[in-house]
Amino acid sequence: MRTTGAVLFEPETDFRIVELEVVDPGPGEVLVEMAFAGLCHSDEHLRHSNPGGAFPIVGGHEGSAVVRAVGPGVTRVAPGDHVVTSFLPACGHCRYCATGRSSICDAGATIATGRLPTGTLPFRLDDGRELGGFCMVGAFARHTVLHEYSCVRIDPSVPLDTAALLACSVPTGWGSAVYAGGVRPGDTVVVVGLGGVGVNAVQGAVHGGALHVIGVDPVEMKRTFAGSVGATHTVADATEAAVLARELSRGTGADVVVVTVGKMSAEVHAAASRCLGKGGTIVLTALADRPAEGMVPLNGQVTTAFQQRVQGTLFGNCNPFTDIPRLLRMHEEGRLELDRLITRRYGLDELTQGYRDQAAGETVRGLLVHG
């Protein structure tokens, strides 16, 4: 079938809106019609990534959709079902899924290329070139083919706009605090970066029972918003946060520091580390544009003597098939903010403007509206 999508043809260029051919779903595959897609900073990382990658590629990985057709053998969803896309497929039976670590499921091995676990590239350009969707999703296309491992069925009564945020930003932030950081009652927590992921790390820290939650961001609007979802204190930079964390903890420093800035760097890590107390955990959720830019300093003497832990996390260590429904239920019960996370909505032809607004610090989360 024919569809329209935003394609990145090479790094350091804008997405181009083009016509695409979508392949029929094969065994284990699902054809969906996208309803909404979040404008996640990970797609900006893709735009600035190393040349020679999997280009061209359809952008977008955070989304909600309606199933239109399924291939042979699909059992998890059926036509008409509403789904949240999981940018990390979860098979349920590999070593990692079987030991409760579905966020590093073996089925995600080809995530960078957009090739599905079955080997399929879902899209074709008019010149015959095959291409995948970012993170095996391609949510910036109106229609796409996913593996059933990437489809989390939700109740049709759930609004698809807010549900889309559960595909990435909400569980990534929330789980960064609750699972990766292991926030406990009475903890002092610092969240560095208060965008779409960071504000959910704030919510996670609150749910974990943190006594003090310090949000760090240079943008006043984001600091104000973080305060509205549970941050007890907000400051403009990590140097201020380090001082405040020691004051609030009566000298010990933060128990957990979650780094969710838009772009990871050695400087960001060093500043965040200064907030951390003895026995604390620093959670690295943020990514850099290129691997070399993500190299961070680690003082072995301090890490050893203070028994500190550096914890990387993907998807906040969440399991999409258990945590997405869990977070939806929390939202339904008024315990998790979703609706107000959406700052602005954009049409497909406004995608570039949406990312400009994000870079200018004007949005917590931008949402692409298909149709």
Give 132-161 pLDDT, tens digit per residue: 999 999 999 999 999 999 999 999 999 999
pTM for the whole structure: 0.95
Which residue in 116, 143, 118 sits closest to 132, CA to CA? 116
d(CA 84, CA 163) in angstroms, rounded, equals: 7
d(CA 276, CA 306) in angstroms, rounded, equals: 10
Which pLDDT score, from 0 to 100, does residue 77 have? Answer: 98
Integer angstrom CA distances of residue 265 from 25, 53, 259, 290: 40, 21, 11, 10
- What are the chain's domains? 2-167+337-369 (3.90.180.10), 172-314 (3.40.50.720)
At residue 192 the predicted structure's pLDDT band, cuts being 50, 70 and 90, is very high
Using the predicted structure, report yes or no on whether residue 288 has a pLDDT greater than 80: yes
Give 352-362 pLDDT, tens digit per residue: 999 999 999 99
Using the predicted structure, report yes or no on whether residue 294 has a pLDDT greater than 90: no
d(CA 325, CA 98) in angstroms, rounded, equals: 19
Which residue in 229, 280, 239 sits closest to 257, CA to CA? 280
Give 345-354 pLDDT, tens digit per residue: 999 999 999 9
**Which residues does residue 143 pair with via DSSP β-bridges, in sequence order?**
33
Amino acid at position 104, single letter: I
Please provide the average confidence, as pLDDT, over all residues in the chain: 95
Which pLDDT score, from 0 to 100, does residue 51 have? Answer: 57
Integer angstrom CA distances of residue 331 from 106, 301, 334, 342: 30, 43, 5, 14
Using the predicted structure, report yes or no on whether residue 299 has a pLDDT greater than 90: no
Q: Which residues contact 159 (CB under 8 A, 6 or more apart)?
A: none
